[in-house]
A and B are shown apart, each in its own frame.
Chain A
Amino acid sequence: MYGKGILKGLSVTWKRFWDTYLDDISWMIRGKKRYHSEEGIKHRSSKNTRGIFTVQYPEERLILPEEARYVPFLVYDEGAEGKKEVRCTSCGICAKVCPPQCIWIVRSNDPNTGRPIPEPTEFYIDADICMNCGFCAEYCPFDAIIMDHDFEIASYSRNVYNMEKLLKPASYYKSIRPENYARNEAERKAKEAAKAAKAAGAAPAS
């Protein structure tokens, strides 16, 4: 029959049209919120989603996966009396691996001896040149530079971030990447334990 294919196609769009309303009603009957709730957003990005799946940004936001990456930040541990213990040792690996070369580091030197000390004096990231590839965080041996989840950085001028802007506490890192944080902490503890064991083992020998 001529026109059968068109009718078949129209049945698909017809079904899709009603799917949204049916889904809405079923959520309503169950007394749950399809919109503006975490559960609703998760449902809309799951395999069971039917009908309209749009997430109404900025009122609603997609739940970012832990690995989501945007312009990096520097991590500091909170020491005694609110002292910022910057993890970065200014080894320069991030600056060397950076594909668009947007990381600038000034290494600190001891004013008395002139020898380098493991701490950056200055640290710049040109966020407009940054391509969010995540190499710096991936190859940092000290977990000192981490990719952020904050993607709303539009501004009227060039986004050149200095130390002040880049430093964020380890607690923030923990809040956006709990699994990575736990893994890093476990690695660190293991390393320290190994060091302690080695020191303990070396002590009797000497």
Chain B
Amino acid sequence: MMTAPASTTTIDLTQRFPGVVTPDARPGYSGFIVEKDKLVEVATAIRDELGFDLLTAVTGVDYLPENKMEVVYHAYKTTGGPGLVFRVQVPRVDPVEVPSLVHVYPSADLQEREAWDLLGIKFTGHPDLRRILMWEGYEGHPLRKDWQEPFYEEEVKPFKSRWPDGKFFMAEDRNPFKDNLKFPQNFDPEKWIPENDEMLYQSLKRYTVKSEDGMTTDRIVVNMGPQHPSTHGVFRAALTLDGETIVGLKPVVGYLHRNHDKIGERNTFLQNMPFTDRLDYFNSMSNNFGYAITVEKLMKIPVAERAEYIRVIMAELSRIQNHMVFVGMLLNDLGAMYTPALYAFEERELILDIFEAVSGSRMMCNYFRFGGVVRDVPDDVLQKIKDLVFDRLPGKTDEFERLLSENEVLVSRLKGVKVVDAETAVKYGVTGPVLRAAGVPYDLRRADPYSVYDRFDWDVAVRHNGDMYDNYLIRIDEIRQSLRILQQAVKTIPQGPINSQKPQYQVRVPAGESYGRIESPKGELAFYVVSNGKPNPWRYHVRPASFVNITCLEQMCIGTKIADFVALLGMLDIVMGELDR
């Protein structure tokens, strides 16, 4: 069960800013409401005076019945401990304007763009407020409560047409695509010129012409992706180059966007569980974990003891296979085609066999339920896990190290190539192994403990140079630490029920908000859920690690050679399913 609440009342912001900051008195809510005009000032004080240096999430919420829009900020300290929630409320009258926090917390950059894109909240002072997930020229803001998607059927599931008189129809027959597609006024696809690219390149300072030694030089813009094989999916980066050196970079994402948040708000609470599998499809167990603890916090229910152990076992197995594949794919990116990747896949295969045996599916596990897990781990599968974590995986990790860690070619390629330093990483909201490789021992399993991680003896893996070699080594370290946790967990797993609740297909969730976060293999994965007491969440927001981590990509790449770009992107370990949602 989660222990630390997402907010604490020991800090008296209300006295520091009388009349500006008021505690949020709504039942089920926590934190402070900040006056819009003083937001930047208050946020600066929160960062500098109170020491909340890591702004993890910026979430927009549309409170249509109250005719209000809200932006919720979750700030944490990298030294650990509970966080601080502060929010701004503005009337829901266009233009909805909120001051941007990019200059206080640069990690807000992409998240503010997301809130602008999906909710139409204009962040004044944001240097580059463009759409990010939807395409430029798109009409409307899809996460607003009065927006309806093509093939819209009903406000919330379950749809009434399915039962008891479920005469089958295909969505596209009932509601042809043309009928439900909104275009901007006077839109003519023949004559339309996308402004997006122009705006994108302007943000890159393409036309900055530098004159040195009396010579006029121009920069080159290179578009990498979205079909580039080494961008780990449909990721596009527009790079400005000065010779071979990167001087500017803008990530262009959204090619795989399917508006996960909107789907989540149409679903019931339980129905979201299988959808979370599709975020970071390498670690569906971790995604389930994050969502389950978020809703459990809101429901205030305990988790069955045995289920806690099963959850930890599954999440750590997931971390091991993720890091193994990460190393394999990194070597792929660097040009060592397939050998390390396939060695990694071999171990991954064995772990996925376990996932399939317990959950029924290799990748889309859908294994967690509110209060526990769906079914018990049978003894023969538990034996298989023991075989793996005691006999096979430690040896295979050693073999992996023998294969790679000392290889002179690899070492000279990786060592000394800067990824990111600690200060920049925290500023830009990078979490996960990349942050720890830069020397910040910030691991949520320790810093903001959840589940039963506090019962095991393990260390937070940390490296100090922040170069590529450390980023590689920290993954190996984390595999070893995960094995340590697993070895203790499979030994001490108690008998008992696997769910504290009765199986029910519709759960009761009291009104309120909840922010649950876990240390996913890629960084902090968090869910922000608002319930109004109905069977469907009012707001369901995912704060994926990959998405926030690429805020830092430009900082990481500037000054390096373009040849390092692929490796640097690989270091962030992005998965487009999670990034684009």
Chain A residues proximal to chain B, CB less than 8 Å:
2-6, 8-9, 11-13, 16, 45-47, 49, 53, 64-65, 67-69, 90, 92-93, 95-99, 101, 103-107, 116, 122, 124, 126, 131-135, 138-139, 147, 158, 160
Contacts and interface: CB of A to CB of B under 8 A. Distances in A.
Pick the 8 closest A-B CB pairs, nearest first.
Answer: A5-B406, A104-B166, A133-B274, A92-B163, A107-B164, A69-B360, A99-B271, A65-B357
Given A105-B166, A124-B168, A135-B270, A96 B407 contact: no
A12 B357 contact: no
B361 interface: yes
Nearest to A131: B274
Contacts of A158: 170
Interface stretch (B197-205, B235-243, B397-405, B416-424): B397-405
Given A67-B359, A105-B163, A138 B503 contact: yes
A116 B271 CA distance: 28
Contacts of A133: 273-274, 364, 366
A67 to B, nearest CB: 4
B162 A45 contact: no
9 contacts: A5-B410, A12-B403, A13-B403, A49-B346, A93-B505, A98-B158, A124-B168, A132-B364, A158-B170
Interface residues of B, number: 55
B164 A8 contact: no
A99 B274 CA distance: 8
Given A99-B274, A134-B366, A12 B399 contact: yes
Contacts of B353: 45, 65
A47 B164 contact: no
Contacts of B402: 8-9, 11-12
B14 interface: no
B338 to A, nearest CB: 11
Given A101-B158, A107-B165, A67 B375 contact: yes
Nearest to B345: A53
Interface stretch (B386-394, B478-486, B516-524, B553-561): B386-394
A2 B409 CA distance: 10
A136 to B, nearest CB: 10
Contacts of B274: 99, 131, 133, 135
B411 interface: yes
Given A5-B411, A49-B350, 15 more contacts: A4-B406, A4-B408, A5-B405, A5-B408, A9-B402, A9-B407, A13-B339, A99-B157, A99-B272, A104-B162, A107-B163, A116-B164, A126-B170, A134-B360, A135-B366
A56 B364 CA distance: 23
Contacts of B267: 99
A12 B406 CA distance: 13
A126 B411 CA distance: 52
Contact of A105 (B164, B271, B360, B375): B164
Contact of A90 (B159, B164, B374, B403): B164
B384 A47 contact: yes
A43 to B, nearest CB: 12
B167 A138 contact: no
A81 to B, nearest CB: 30
A8 B406 contact: yes
A6 B391 CA distance: 26
Contacts of B384: 47
Given A12-B402, A53-B349, A68 B163 contact: no
A47 B350 contact: yes
A65 B346 CA distance: 19
A138 B374 contact: yes
Contacts of B357: 65, 67
Nearest to B405: A5
Contact of A47 (B388, B404, B407): B388
B244 interface: no
B508 to A, nearest CB: 15
Contact of A106 (B165, B170, B350, B358): B165
Given A68-B360, A97-B270, A47 B387 contact: yes
Nearest to A93: B505
Nearest to B158: A96
B503 A95 contact: no
B356 A67 contact: yes
A103 B166 contact: yes
Contact of B360 (A2, A12, A67, A97): A67
Contacts of A11: 402
B275 interface: yes
A106 B270 contact: no
